[in-house]
Structure 1
Amino acid sequence: MFMFCRQINYELAETYSAMMDNKLALVENGGSEPTPPQAKKINTLATSSIQYFLHYLDSLKDIITGEQPTVYSEDSVRPALVAWFHLGRLWSKLVATNHQTKIQNLAQSLQNYKRLVEYCDRNPHCQSLMAQELAVCREMVQLLPLKMEQLRALSR
């Protein structure tokens, strides 16, 4: 039963993420900023996806310490790392109405990308397993602090 719940959380997270991508694509194809109702819908879908990815990752925590494992089991390593990747991406997709909120969202995004990079650096055998995602994460770890600094400069 536990494994079934874990799988359902992951599938719900992926579904909400896909729905958010579709809503975001509709807005972007329209060539304008999202209206408040569109932004609310995008954010609701993104936060639901974030919530279910976190539920999935919580199910992998060590029962005694309550921490993520230092090494994921062979059957959960790729799904767990993909979940961290999605979390980074989802936080960056949230529609923010002000620079401060956008900076906070990007900081969350950066934290999740860093988690994946650090895990793969500690466990080099995972680098080939996550090659594409890892390359994106390494790039985002470099770019997001610059973007955050640009937003801070705009809000001064």
Structure 2
Amino acid sequence: MQPYKGRSVENGQQVNVYVNLNNQGLFSIQCCKTKLVLAHAEVVWLENCRFFVSESGRMRSVAKQVRSVHAWLTGTFVSADKVLPTPTDTVVSYNPFSSSHFYNILDNSRVVDTDIAICYQRRVYCYQKPVKEESFEQCNLFGTAYEHRYVMLREKAIVV
């Protein structure tokens, strides 16, 4: 992680993350409250995330056929440049010229939020938190695959 202008980002801080258009391969980490850029990183790990697209910014970008920052991911900062994503069924991308929202690249379905996100190489790898024991029977919809996916993230994440 490269701090920007001497600023720092703290674990647990609410941040916005977006692709840095000037430095290929990096994401910008922005404070939600001050809107100041805090740092740049190749890999960013967030929890409790939501995806946002400014429709007016998207329309401006499409009309001028020029890239601009108008889409971002908001969440709680966990770490940067320490883990690489493991395989998942939900890999998210965004292209303002073909879609008005973030989408899963495997089936083009719209993605609005996720429990855990790892931003890496212009993509967002999404994971779900495990179901608590007492609520497992109520949420049998996800079954063991739901629980296993998070365990894989914690145990098989590649440490850089």
Q: TM-score, normalised by structure 2?
A: 0.26
Higher strand share: 2
